[in-house]
Amino acid sequence: MNESKYIVITGGAKGVGMVYASHLAKDPENIIIVTGRSKTPPDSIIHRLNSKFHYRSLDVSIESQIIPFFSEIIESFGRIDILINNAGIWGPVGKFNTNDLSEWFDTIKVNLTGAVSCTHAAMQYMVPQKSGIIINMASNAGAHRWPNCSAYSVSKAAIMKLTENLAIESKKDNISHYAFHPGLIHSTGMAMALTENPPEEYCAVKSALDWILKEKDLGNTVSAEDSIPHIEKLCSGHYKQLSGLYLNVKDNLDEILDNIRDVRRHNSYQLKVTS
């Protein structure tokens, strides 16, 4: 009989995180713990809660909550096998010099510092157990410039480089790290939030929304469900050789795995300067 896998998904009480949590919960071996800022489970997920699906309050931007949260997870469940750092926000949209710096830094606290703190805390338990998988939700905004969304772009670029470094450091401890981009999602999450509350006057937010809608019309957006097969594979433990790579919903993970020697030789699927 296989042992249960304990999976923590930050920001998993809604959006993309909930899509992944709901699907992963279908596997009888998985125990899912989703987090949200609310002290109590949101009404939208109460019907899901059972012995295999749990909710915990956690604001990843508040460092003092991180260590007690993971300590409680270990006390309640005994171990943590997979951490999906999914909690994230857009941050201020507009030219950097017009951004409210408090909003800019809040984005870094959630998207980067939050993921760093959760990863550090989770690894205190993963290293002794000599196993673990950490998936950092990334974005093409980190691999390419995204004017008027500098806080988000910078946070995601840093996440990608963090993933590369920790993959090498953690190899002997049998811990895999992946940076994964689920694509520009039109069905739920942050992009959907923009479409639900469009600004009345033209501004940077309206420009970003127009771009998203244009990409959707061109067929360049995806649903959250499109990346479920990738998340399944990364959670399976069978893709350890891809640890450290930046992967996205359009990648064929099996082809990358088959060509991993060339991938490593050319430092492909990593954040780098080209000449």
Please indicate whether residue 185 or residue 216 has the higher confidence score (pLDDT).
Answer: 185
Phi (first) and psi of residue 130, to 5 degrees: 55, 40
CA pair distance 34, 57, nearest whole angstrom: 9
pTM given for the model: 0.92
Q: What is the residue-averaged pLDDT of the chain?
A: 91
CB 70 within 8 A of CB 125: yes
Strands 82-85 and 53-57, bridge-based pairing: unpaired
> Residue 205: pLDDT band by 50, 70, 90 thresholds?
low
- For the segment 153-175, the average pLDDT, to the nearest whole number, is 97
- For the segment 194-205, the average pLDDT, to the nearest whole number, is 59
CA pair distance 17, 151, nearest whole angstrom: 21
Question: In whole angstroms, what separates CA 212 from the centre of its chain?
Answer: 20
Residue with tokens 């909003």: 103
Across-strand partners of 55?
A: 34
